[in-house]
Structure 1
């Protein structure tokens, strides 16, 4: 089972309230308004909006707010805020603990890759996914909106190809026929058009959520199963990378939570998943090999620097008349500083226990430093290197 919590998908073992609107009027130049109690005011209207509003009585304000031009401006502003391009990020802005749960059955016609957070599925095959959220006061009806999006071009609408569109058996429902994403749940509404780019205008499915279904987890959670399928393949639009975006919305269209699932619709899900995961591992090995080559170069530079500076350091120590405190290091030991300012230690241990104790001591010191500076990325990398070093030391015979 795979669960999409606030940031990523992970594997799990089976066991309208209308907001008050504030009208803001901004004016410049001169306007003649008819006052109900006095003669028409021919003075020039002040440029300051608040001074202008304070000079109006309720009758003039009501008359001013009903002008069609200003109403169009206000509606356009609201529409601009709602109809925005999608952002491919996971969030829970509404504090509903919104998430999606995937249960992969045995011998399934779809596959899920955990390291890639990607679903591989065949065309016209249905897969089940559960929407999970927490009940929050005050109660309000909630919907789930799902739509397809290109990963590298969020403004481009994902449309069906003419090949599959011409052979589609659905004739009576035009919106469903043109939508690449299909939902098998009752009461599903197909939204959008072929020119839509924003969230509310592009092709999407809107499913009302049942607030009476409880989850086995308890704690006021709701869990509802949805069934989706796809009417085209990635090869139909140039094999572009796509993702499936799930939005938890209220009746006003406000997005309360969002989860992104990367997607590939193909003829052989298992083959494509394995191939993509192998490519990821290959890229990781290349990066590691490149990093090791850089370390070898740094080490060589450090040795050259050490050869130049070591006699000077010994000379300075001898001049300070503290030669009695200097003990020569073994030839296979090394303490030096690299060109980039880091410190390098090479030490030889006669027993494995001594080696592990030394590594564990460095890990403890690094952990304390991380607690003091949790945002320090270099400390995290150093801690990971030490943990890998301990694993390698444990495997030594």
Structure 2
């Protein structure tokens, strides 16, 4: 910037000397005026407008800015914060586009990736090129949502069967990257961003494409060598950090993650649960807004129904559930299970049997080779016929 400001000033001096020698003052004024108009005056005007009060404010802002930059530089040596941010205006983000008939799923309302173990997925890193251009890296690592200090490690069962033997750092890393020049960092005891297991990938500062809005877009390929069930089904996330060569974090993007055997089923279940929670919260809010009037009975019925449902759920989760005295649950000597219930009405008995038949039929369809399940369904159907003949 300083060089650009010196060029117009030098131009004015040369023109002044030339016109002095020629003795033409009118052209001198015109040339000097045009040259001075080209000089950017914003910094001068800014400095002239400063008084003692805002000079102090300017100094304080500079100190605060230095403190913020120092905090950014030390983030790599601190525990991760699970939030998206851009500290240096790089417009950094990660773009995940689910292809048709894929072995992984993405839930947009949950911002969550569902994928099978040892299956790859593509994700694009987008960022803006800033001057002066400096080499940038992308760091990716896994983190527990409710315990950011706990390192995410591979289980011994999968590690013992891993074919990779010559690269211990890659063998112990749960996250794998297929991009060339990717390096594996960290140790099993590491808790900070720079010390925990992570993958560091250099980013190519290629020209931005017209379709990406002027941003550089680079595709990265990752996979996972364990499942969530390997570490107690804890909720996990995948953290992406944009860094320079000094290790300063310039941007961060967080993506929730579940590594499972059936991504489509788990995504649908989580999205249905999300919708139920939304409906429940809206229903609770509407009930709080209601007052005594024509809808008082309806509100009372909804409240009673909700109380009964919560009571049933609490009984189901209790370690010592309540069982009526005329019901019996036991296990026979040959290892089978025995259930005896007593119903006051015939319809309730038939509905209970039909519910058991439905569950058994679904299990039989999923396991068509199981003769025991087919026999169990037939026994239940005969039981229903006998119950229908009761007076």
TM range (shorter): 0.5 to 0.7
Question: Per-residue deviation at 1:279?
Answer: 0.6
Instruction: Report if the CA contact (8 A) 1:191-1:203 is conserved.
Output: yes
Structure 1 residues 125 and 298: CA distance shift in structure 2, 3 A:
farther
Q: 2:234 matched to which residue of 1?
A: 240
Question: Per-residue deviation at 1:102?
Answer: 1.2
1:192 aligns with 2:183: no
Structure 2 CA distance for aligned equivalents of residues 252 and 84 of structure 1: 15
Q: 1:166 matched to which residue of 2?
A: 160
Instruction: Report if the CA contact (8 A) 2:92-2:128 is conserved.
Output: yes
Match of 1:281, SS?
helix
Structure 1 CA distance for aligned equivalents of residues 82 and 103 of structure 2: 26
Q: 1:33 matched to which residue of 2?
A: none
Match of 2:211, SS?
coil
Question: Per-residue deviation at 1:299?
Answer: 6.9
Instruction: Report if the CA contact (8 A) 1:185-1:227 is conserved.
Output: yes
Structure 1 residues 278 and 136: CA distance shift in structure 2, 3 A:
same
Structure 1 residues 211 and 276: CA distance shift in structure 2, 3 A:
same
Structure 1 residues 213 and 236: CA distance shift in structure 2, 3 A:
farther
RMSD: 2.1
Instruction: Report if the CA contact (8 A) 1:180-1:230 is conserved.
Output: yes
Q: 1:124 matched to which residue of 2?
A: 118
Structure 1 CA distance for aligned equivalents of residues 231 and 181 of structure 2: 29
Question: Per-residue deviation at 1:81?
Answer: 5.7
Q: 1:273 matched to which residue of 2?
A: 267
Structure 1 CA distance for aligned equivalents of residues 173 and 87 of structure 2: 28
Q: How does 1:236-315 map to 2 (within 5 A)?
A: 236-297=230-291
1:112 to 106, 109, 120: 106
Match of 1:280, SS?
helix
Question: Per-residue deviation at 1:171?
Answer: 0.2
What are the superposed Cα offsets for residues 179-206 of structure 1, whole Å, 9 maximum, x if unpaired?
Answer: 0000000000100000000000000000
Structure 2 CA distance for aligned equivalents of residues 245 and 260 of structure 1: 5
Instruction: Report if the CA contact (8 A) 2:74-2:248 is conserved.
Output: no
- TM-score computed with the length of structure 1 as normaliser: 0.55
Structure 1 residues 189 and 295: CA distance shift in structure 2, 3 A:
same
1:207 aligns with 2:217: no
Structure 2 CA distance for aligned equivalents of residues 139 and 220 of structure 1: 15
1:95 aligns with 2:89: yes
Structure 2 CA distance for aligned equivalents of residues 233 and 199 of structure 1: 22
Structure 1 CA distance for aligned equivalents of residues 135 and 168 of structure 2: 27
Structure 2 CA distance for aligned equivalents of residues 109 and 274 of structure 1: 15
Match of 2:169, SS?
helix
Question: Per-residue deviation at 1:103?
Answer: 1.7
Structure 1 CA distance for aligned equivalents of residues 237 and 116 of structure 2: 15
Q: 2:135 matched to which residue of 1?
A: 141
Question: Per-residue deviation at 1:212?
Answer: 1.7
Question: Per-residue deviation at 1:99?
Answer: 1.1
Consecutive unaligned residues of structure 2, counting only runs of 5 or more, are: 1-70, 295-391
Q: 1:324 matched to which residue of 2?
A: none
Between the two proteins, the alignment pairs up a number of residues equal to 226
What are the superposed Cα offsets for residues 299-357 of structure 1, whole Å, 9 maximum, x if unpaired?
Answer: 79xxxxxxxxxxxxxxxxxxxxxxxxxxxxxxxxxxxxxxxxxxxxxxxxxxxxxxxxx
Question: Per-residue deviation at 1:288?
Answer: 1.6
Q: How does 1:1-397 map to 2 (within 5 A)?
A: 82-217=76-211, 220-297=214-291
Consecutive unaligned residues of structure 1, counting only runs of 5 or more, are: 1-76, 301-397
Question: Per-residue deviation at 1:297?
Answer: 3.5
Structure 1 CA distance for aligned equivalents of residues 154 and 210 of structure 2: 38
- The farther-off stretch of 122-131 and 214-223 is 214-223
Indicate the structure with greater helix content. Answer: 2
Question: Per-residue deviation at 1:152?
Answer: 0.4
